[in-house]
Amino acid sequence: MNHLRALRALPPEVWLLGGVSLLSDAASDLVYPLLPKLVGTLGAGAFVLGVMEGVAELLAAFVKIWAGRANDRGVSRAALVVGGYGLAALARPLMAVAFSPLQIVGIRVVDRVGKGLRSAPRDAILAAATPPRHRGLSFGLHRAMDNLGAVVGPLLALLLLGPLHFGLRAAIAAAAAPGALSVLLAWIVIRRTRQQAPTAVEVAEGADPALEREPIGKGPRALLVATGCFALGASADSFLMARLGDLGLGLAWIPVAWITLQAGKSALNVPGGAIADRLGPRRVLLASWIVYVLAYVLFARAPTWGWFWAALPLYAIHYGLGEGAEKSLMTRLAPERARGTAYGVQHAVHGVALLPANVLFGWLYQHSAPLAFELSAALAALGAAVLLATVPEPQR
């Protein structure tokens, strides 16, 4: 009941931004599961997919850093947020008219650049709009709606390709609808926040000279190091689906497993954020990473797909506890005038680590899947140890 009262007390901007992410992720996850098939029709395969994701995420990581610093130096958050969602919304449907693998790679890069532009300024808006005592809940709610979009997207693809008999390219083009709605809703959020409290959307005009001299601080830097260690072991969830198939789960059930995992994340993000507000985000983030270690140890030891699937709820708990807590912890540690920079680098650390993490995991997976999962667990444990040893407990 306390959680429900706290949710009702959250500013409308938090709910609206959650709606923006839900729509944007629904558009993205409508297209994303169809990309392997689309690339295959153009004569390419897994290598092109790997290059596409690696290049796109690496470039997006640098854009996230730039956007975070731009946010702190007076660049319009409206331009960054609405422009970021708009760029992605325009790019995704263009895949329906792409006729070469290189075009697919280029469009995917533009999509991820859009994500890079909007991520840090959006987090800054959420932090500015939310009372400090509810920031974990606010970030948790946002991630819950984001993960819910990852459920809605594949369901839309299933509906379009099944009962509605859309072709592959027509289904991809349909992503234009939720994408356009996300941009419209983002514009409404920006207008509403400008009218009520201009500083919640636009930082003071001009750059802050102090930011040229002062770093984001020791606490945020320590958190970024710990996050980098952990992220090197955080391989893509698609490997989980691959392992289920290798253990004998039928192809028709793989999407069901994916949807249940995303639904579990979404259901647990809100209570996880509320727990971070009550117990402190550092403790909850540490618990989240320990749960990740336990889940990956179970994945490594699972003898059948049934046992493997049974460990997915534990993995979902990691997301539920950690996603809101990590953002909330950075908000408490970073100086207010450097939060955009801190969020940008935080997003970038995950993005940069994604390429080596997936390459290493994939290489090991080909030789020994249990060993790949065990190494991920070890790297996550290292991140947890660094977090415990170096990241200070922020003041309440």
Q: What is the mean pLDDT of residues 233-242?
A: 82
Dist. CA 203–CA 188, nearest whole Å:
19
Look up residue 391 and give its DSSP letter.
Answer: S
DSSP secondary structure letters along 181-223: HHHHHHHHHHHHHHHH-GGGTSPPSS--HHHHH--S-HHHHHH
Q: What angle do CA 136, 142, 148 make, to 5 degrees?
A: 130
Q: What is the CA radius of gyration of the chain?
A: 20
Most confidently modeled of 12-16, 110-114, 311-315, 351-355? Answer: 311-315
Amino acid at the residue 27: A
Decide if 143 contacts 264 (C-beta within 8 A).
no
The string of pLDDT tens digits covering residues 96-149 is: 998 888 888 888 889 988 988 898 888 888 888 888 888 888 888 888 899 899
Dist. CA 225–CA 210, nearest whole Å:
24
Dist. CA 315–CA 377, nearest whole Å:
12
Dist. CA 162–CA 153, nearest whole Å:
14
Look up residue 204 and give its DSSP letter.
Answer: P
Amino acid at the residue 62: F
Q: Has residue 199 got a pLDDT over 50?
A: no
Q: Has residue 195 got a pLDDT over 80?
A: no
Q: What is the mean pLDDT of residues 236-260?
A: 83
Closest by CA to 83, choosing from 118, 126, 112, is: 118
Decide if 313 contacts 264 (C-beta within 8 A).
yes
The string of pLDDT tens digits covering residues 330-361 is: 988 888 888 888 888 888 888 788 778 877 88
Token pair 């198939």 is found at: 245
CA distances from 126 to 187, 226, 275, 316 (A): 15, 24, 18, 23
CA distances from 123 to 110, 212, 273, 290, 386 (A): 21, 22, 15, 25, 25
Higher pLDDT, 379 or 54: 379
Residue 210 — pLDDT band, cuts 50, 70, 90? very low
Chosen CATH of 2-390 out of 3.40.50.10240, 3.40.190.10, 1.20.1250.20, 3.20.20.450: 1.20.1250.20
